[in-house]
Structure 1
């Protein structure tokens, strides 16, 4: 199992919309997340800075393949098309990232 944390900004005028979207995530998206070996997925919002912190645990054996499967899903592409305009990627993210991945520096289990 691999724990993963990530961060992204949220457009101030989109906070209510983003909360509403995630209060009723489409069932197909929830199924896809599970099928791609992601568990314990949470997103936290820090206001007034409007930073989103995402956490999940990856329990599969081929992360790249699972992420490719997720990206290839037409329903997920539709979901991203409504979520991504709400988000504001960090300028300091690595090339190719939308959400900036974070290094785990402590865990107590």
Structure 2
């Protein structure tokens, strides 16, 4: 399994709404992520900047690109686009992060 980490940006005042939407995450989205090999997926918030930090594990990271084409993912992105920074296709504006330390 490889770790993939990235950061995203939440709009001001949207923390509770972001949390609510993830508390009610769609079962079909969870199934799609798991069936694609995504595991151990966490998202953290820096409340002083509203920056979101995500980390997940996946057997084949290239599958994340294929996942981005799936209708369920695209529907989720559109659903989330009003509370976070996004690209024109509604995908989250995200920055890949490089691992600089790991303690197994």
Distance in structure 2 (CA, Å) of the matches to 1:67 and 1:8? 16
Name the count of aligned residue pairs: 99
Q: Which residue of 1 aligns with 2:37?
A: 37
Give TM-score scaled by structure 2 length: 0.84
Segments of structure 2 that go 5 or more residues without pairing to the other structure are: 87-91
State the match for 2:49 in structure 1. Answer: 49
Instruction: Compute the TM-score of the two structures, normalised by the length of structure 1.
Output: 0.81
Write the distance in 1 (CA, Å) between the matches of 2:70 and 2:80.
15
Structure 1 gap ranges (5+): 90-96
CA RMSD of superposed structures (Å): 1.7
- Residue 28 of structure 1 is matched in structure 2 by 28
1:73 paired to 2:65: no
C-alpha distance in structure 2 between counterparts of 1:88 and 1:72, whole Å: 19
Q: Provide runs of 4+ in structure 1 moved above 2 Å.
A: none
